[in-house]
Amino acid sequence: MRLAGWKVEGEIPRRNKVIIIAAPHTTNWDFVFLLGAAFHLGLSVKWLGKSSLFAFPFGWIMRALGGISVDRSKPNGMVEQVADTISTTDKISLVIPPSGTRNKTEYWKSGFYHIAKTAKISIVCGYLDYEKKKAGLGPNFFVSESTSGDMDKIRAFYKNKVGKFPALTSRIRLKEEQ
């Protein structure tokens, strides 16, 4: 990361199981810098990726880099499936980009939020700020009874974080906040 002129901030979460949200997500380079920041911090991460990323011939590389294949064409039951996977492990730092894509979206996908709630684990705000060339981990909190209140915390944190392509940055809100 230093060779590329980036500064890595934050500390490894003290909890054994966390969801790390990765935002803003606007380019495939986010993946490279995310892994670089995690390596710099000494953090072993897992991440969810569309099943096509795990096809031959590169599937084994994706799994070696911490990837967990998901079938995005069948989203029903994914929260429970991931929460069950989390419950069977002693330690996991699962990275999820809530926009779900590198393109601009009107809403974030709420899976990260519901997985954290179902698995009773905390959310850590992970970020890449291309404008300041900073990457790292921010606040760590448990989901409360107020979805809007939790999302307000998240919005406040990401307010000044700039993606590689700012025009592709998704609005930080969940459909259920309406």
Map out the domains of the chain as residue ranges. 2-7+16-177
Q: What is the pLDDT of residues 54-112, one digit of tens each?
A: 999 999 999 999 998 887 777 678 898 899 989 999 999 999 999 888 889 999 999 99
Angle at which helices 78-87 and 111-119 cross, to 10°: 40
Q: What percent of the chain has pLDDT over 90?
A: 72
What is the pLDDT at residue 133? 96
As a whole number, mean pLDDT of residues 18-37 equals 92
In which element (H, E) is residue 158 found? helix 147-158
As a whole number, mean pLDDT of residues 9-38 equals 92
Pairwise CA distance, residues 41 & 45, whole Å: 11
Check pLDDT > 80 for residue 9.
yes
- Could you give the strand order of the β-sheet that contains 92-96, starting from the edge strand earlier in sequence? 7-9, 134-141, 122-129, 17-23, 92-96, 46-50, 67-70
Query: pTM for this one?
Result: 0.90
What is the pLDDT at residue 3? 73
